C-alpha cells in the first residue's frame, strides 16, 4: 500500500483561507507537473518510484481538497475560489473511469489509495496513466483545468 502517515491527530487551529489556498495550490501543482512529465516522458509509467510519487500526490491532493469543503471562516472571493477548486478536484479524483484492463470502473483516487509498490506495473493507477497517454486531448484539458485552478488560488 501507499505509505500514508497515520500520525495521531492533535487538535489544532484550522488553517486560514490563504494557508489552505497555498496548500491546495501546491498539491494541484504536483499532480499537474506529474501529468506534464507523463506526456513528455511516457516511460515514467514503467518506474515504480514514479508511480508511487503520483499515488502520494493524488492522496495529498484529496486530503487538501477535502479541507476546502468544510471552511467556516469569513466569506471572500478567495474562499469561494477555494471551495470551487475543492469541488472540481474532488470530481476529478472520484469520477469512475472505465479503463481497459482494470477489474472494474475505478476512480483516480481509488487507484492511488490501492497502489502497492510490489504490484506497481500491474496497478490500476498505471493503467489509468497509460490510458491518459492514449487520449492526449482530454489529458491536456485536465492539465489546463488544474493550471486554471492554480491561477484562481493565487492570493
**Predicted local distance difference test score (pLDDT) of residue 75:** 65
Residue 8 has pLDDT above 80, yes or no: no
Cα–Cα distance for residue pair 104/34, rounded to 1 Å? 25
Cβ partners under 8 Å of residue 150, min gap 6: 25, 28, 29, 32
| CA–CA gap between residue 112 and residue 104 (Å, rounded) | 15
Least Cα distance to 99 among 115, 118, 123 occurs for 123
The pLDDT tens digits of the residues spanning 14-26 come to 678 889 999 999 9
What is the tens place of the pLDDT at every residue in 40-66? 999 999 999 999 999 999 999 999 999
Question: In this structure, are residues 39 and 139 in contact, taking their beta carbons and an 8 Å threshold?
Answer: yes
pLDDT confidence of 77, banded at 50, 70, 90? confident
pLDDT digits (tens, 9 = 90+) for 103-145: 789 999 999 999 999 999 999 999 999 999 999 999 999 999 9
pLDDT at residue 56, as a whole number: 98
142-149, long-range: CB within 8 Å, 24+ apart, which pairs?
Answer: 142/35, 142/92, 143/32, 143/35, 143/36, 143/39, 145/88, 145/92, 146/28, 146/31, 146/32, 146/35, 146/92, 147/32, 149/28, 149/85, 149/88, 149/89
Report which of residues 9 and 88 the model is more confident about: 88
What cell was used for 146? 488544474
- Res 10: pLDDT: 47
Residue ranges per domain, the chain?
17-152
Amino acid at each position: 500500500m501507499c505509505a500514508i502517515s497515520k500520525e495521531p491527530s492533535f487538535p489544532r487551529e484550522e488553517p486560514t483561507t490563504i494557508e489552505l489556498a497555498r496548500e491546495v495550490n501546491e498539491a494541484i501543482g504536483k499532480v499537474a507537473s506529474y501529468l506534464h512529465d507523463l506526456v513528455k516522458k511516457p516511460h515514467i509509467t514503467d518506474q515504480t518510484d514514479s508511480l508511487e510519487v503520483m499515488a502520494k500526490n493524488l492522496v495529498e491532493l484529496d486530503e487538501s481538497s477535502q479541507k476546502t469543503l468544510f471552511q467556516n471562516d469569513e466569506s471572500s472571493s478567495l474562499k469561494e475560489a477555494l471551495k470551487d477548486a475543492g469541488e472540481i478536484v474532488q470530481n476529478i479524483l472520484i469520477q469512475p473511469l472505465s479503463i481497459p484492463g482494470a477489474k472494474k470502473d475505478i476512480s483516480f483516487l481509488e487507484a492511488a489509495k490501492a497502489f502497492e509498490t510490489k504490484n506497481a506495473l500491474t496497478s490500476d493507477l498505471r493503467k489509468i496513466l497509460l490510458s491518459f497517454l492514449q487520449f492526449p486531448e482530454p489529458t491536456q484539458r485536465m492539465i489546463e483545468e488544474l493550471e486554471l485552478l492554480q491561477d484562481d488560488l493565487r492570493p
